[in-house]
Structure 1
Amino acid sequence: MWYSFLNIFFFVFHTIFTLFNIVGWIFQKTRKLHLITISLTAFSWFFLGIWYGWGYCFCTDWHWTVRQRLGYKDHSNSYIHFLILKLSGINLNEQMVENATLVIFLLCFILSACLNIKDWRIKKNKSQNHLS
């Protein structure tokens, strides 16, 4: 029962987290949070990845453990590939999905960093103008 709940939790949480990493930079009110979530993803992929393998994601690792305990043997090397397959039934080339995931991630990270810097500069300029 507990593992079934965790399986559903990870599907929902990880999917929302992933979607937020893709679109969270768009909205000014969510940009700071987005920079945090996308940085956590980068930390997991590139820093923890030194020890666990490039692209390592602790959410994916935990979800695979839950699914393994439930008796599933259907996970792939890419969580995004897994989601696409489970949600649409389409079995895309895994390497293509990993490459697209990396490109989209890097674009979103760069956009988030640039827009957060821009927002910070605007806020800084406004506060300096109020002091003058």
Structure 2
Amino acid sequence: MLDSKNQFEYSVNMEKVTFLWIINIVLFQIHSFVIVINLFAWMSWKFRKLHYAVISLTIFSWIVLGFFYGFGYCFLTDWHYDILRDLGYSNLPYSYIKFCLDSIFGSDLNPFYVDIGTVIGFVIAVAGAVNNLLWRRN
């Protein structure tokens, strides 16, 4: 039987874990939203301003912050990985996309190919955004 001190510690730990899982879910949703906006929002006139803002923030994170933390650095991934580590995850890949794909498919995909796919998708999204800006001006 647990004494009152152990019971309190257990209760506090459960509250912390519950809070971390809620933050994990929120960050997953935000991250998914950012990925979908980056990849597809340029296709719709309705979401283009949002796309320009989100893709600019992504470029800033990947390149400018990447200069200090490594190319492709994402502050959102960094925050999310901090929460996942607190929840007991370890050996997290550098790429959040790889983490998601590995989780979905239950396998260990080659990080090189995941990164190539990520860059190709991102280049297509940036090209679409630039094309929209140029087309709008003509």
TM-score, with normalisation over the residues of structure 2?
0.82
Compared with structure 1, are the counterparts of its residues 104 and 30 closer, same or farther at alpha carbon in structure 2 (3 Å cutoff)?
A: same
User: Identity rate of aligned residues, in percent?
Assistant: 36
TM-superposition CA deviations, 1:45-103 (whole Å, max 9, x none) = 00000001110000000000001111111521111010111123243211110111112
Greater relative contact order (CA < 8 Å, ≥ 6 in sequence): 1
Please state if 1:42 is matched with 2:59. Answer: yes
1:1-132 alignment to 2 at 5 Å? 1-119=18-136, 121=137
2-side partners of 1:113 and 1:22: how far apart? Answer: 13
Gaps of 5+ in 2: 1-17
Alignment size in residue pairs: 121
Please tell me the root mean square deviation across aligned C-alpha atoms, in Å. Answer: 1.3
2-side partners of 1:7 and 1:101: how far apart? Answer: 22
TM-score, with normalisation over the residues of structure 1?
0.85
| SS across alignment from 2:43 | coil
Gaps of 5+ in 1: 123-132
2-side partners of 1:84 and 1:32: how far apart? Answer: 28
